[in-house]
Chains A and B, each alone.
Chain A
Amino acid sequence: MVSGLAPEQRRAAIARGDFSHLADSEVMLELKAGNMDAFDVLLAKYRKPMVHFMFRMVHNQAVAEELAQEVFLRVYRSRETYRAEARFSTWLYRIATNLGVNYARDTRYERTAATVYLDEVDAETGMTPDVADTTPSAEVGLLREERMEAIRRHVMALPERQRNAVLMHKYQGMDYQQIGEVLKLSESATKSLLFRAYQTLREKLKEFV
């Protein structure tokens, strides 16, 4: 598991609060054993990724932070059921994805739940608003805002699983193998899910490319 550390050295490092030699899953097992320092280690590592992930899901910083906090609280509450065979980050993103998706559904931010498993359905048929047909603005900042808003709108208009896959792949730097683990899809299914999403985005974001 941990390279080059004997068990007693490991215990000594943990007692010093030095978790640098531990894999995330082992830090999680420390938390499971009651070591609260492990919580802060995981928090330090995943605070920013979780806030960013949630921000892109809900587009509101206060809500994103509350949801990200809820992710960490669920990690704590579920520590007893954590099994080290799953990669910690996979488990974390599964929690985060569920939370974000449920929030979106509850607030009706979202397409109807009926489309959840129908990724094949043309994204056009959703509630995708048209890109505002504005004349080119001289204001660089305004253009930037507009571009960002268009990206956000079109990513969010993707079917749920495509959207989650893009958020993890593009913005969380995860490979499709791990995304497949989070979404419980095969590697090839994840790859084609992502590709369909990027094809749609190419079509929708043409004017900005």
Chain B
Amino acid sequence: MTKEGMSEGENMKELTRTINCKTCGKHFADLLLDESFAAQVREAGRQQTGPDAEAGAAAEPIHGAAAMQVAAHLAGCATCREELEQLQATYALLDSWTAPEPSAFFDSRLHVRLREVRAEEPERLWSRVRSFFLYSTRQRLRPVLAGALAVAVIAGGGGTFAGLYGHQDAMAIKTSPTVNDLKILDNNAQALQQMDELLDSGNDNSAPPVS
């Protein structure tokens, strides 16, 4: 494919003039999507057409041959230049399709849904209790909440916090006492988590649980 008698780096200027529109068009994807290639072509274009064009052409090419060729072709071909400009303009035009900000209730709605999901995973109670005490960032509240959990466990009453969180009443109770106890424990763990979120809501402006 290489022209006979043309050694590497020799007469770069002539080489850069040799691609046609079709070959040039094959580089449009890179010109549009690959910023480093596009920058190379721009820079090569400046070198080839700028005031020091002769010096630039004579000097060792600092850009890939493809960038040099594309720059040279674009400089001399209005059709390709126009096509490229249209592509770039379309790409910029797409910016005017804007999207609205998330609504103020996004997080609170999500947390309600998240609690529903978590409520369906009772088998994970112990890992949840564990992680609650392990990871809770509200250090100073820990003793209080630990005490609360102990009280809740001893009392064994699912209703301890149920008054605060109405949706837990929806938890159907028609299972064996053991499973039931586990569920109660689970509810209490959840209630603690929710209480934690409530106490924290002053800082992160998330809305209190809705049910």
Binding site for B on A (CB under 8 A): 14-17, 33-37, 39-40, 43, 47-48, 51-52, 55-56, 61, 64-65, 68-69, 72-73, 76-77, 144, 147-148, 151-152, 155, 166, 169-171, 176, 191-192, 194-195, 198-199, 201-202, 205-206, 208-209
B2 CB–A CB distance under 8 Å = no
Report whether over half of chain A's contact residues are helix, strand or loop; otherwise say mixed.
helix
Question: Which residues of B have CB within 8 Å of A14?
Answer: 135
A151 touches B89 (CB 8 A): no
B135 touches A61 (CB 8 A): no
Residue of B nearest to A80 (CB): B124
Residue of A nearest to B90 (CB): A202
- Expressed in whole angstroms, the Cα–Cα distance for A196 and B137 within the complex equals 50
Q: Known contacts being A15-B137, A39-B114, A198-B91, is A151 close to B96, with CB within 8 Å?
A: yes
Interchain residue pairs A-B with the least CB separation, the first 10: A34-B131, A17-B137, A195-B29, A52-B99, A202-B90, A55-B99, A51-B102, A209-B89, A35-B135, A151-B97
A35 touches B96 (CB 8 A): no
Question: How many positions in chain B have a CB within 8 Å of any CB in the partner chain?
Answer: 39
A205 touches B100 (CB 8 A): no
- Expressed in whole angstroms, the Cα–Cα distance for A73 and B118 within the complex equals 10
A191 touches B33 (CB 8 A): yes
B130 touches A198 (CB 8 A): no
A47 touches B106 (CB 8 A): yes
- Expressed in whole angstroms, the Cα–Cα distance for A155 and B137 within the complex equals 45
Question: Which residues of A have CB within 8 Å of B96?
Answer: 144, 147-148, 151
Question: Which residues of A have CB within 8 Å of B10?
Answer: none
Binding site for A on B (CB under 8 A): 28-30, 32-34, 86-87, 89-91, 93-103, 106-107, 109-110, 113-114, 117-118, 127-128, 130-131, 134-135, 137, 193, 204
B32 touches A198 (CB 8 A): yes
Q: Distance (Å) between the CB of B97 and the closest chain A CB? A: 4
Q: Known contacts being A170-B94, A198-B32, is A47 close to B135, with CB within 8 Å?
A: no
Q: Known contacts being A198-B91, A209-B89, is A43 close to B110, with CB within 8 Å?
A: yes
Identify which of B97, B100, B117, B135 contacts A76 (C-beta below 8 A).
B117
Question: Which residues of B have CB within 8 Å of A208?
Answer: 93
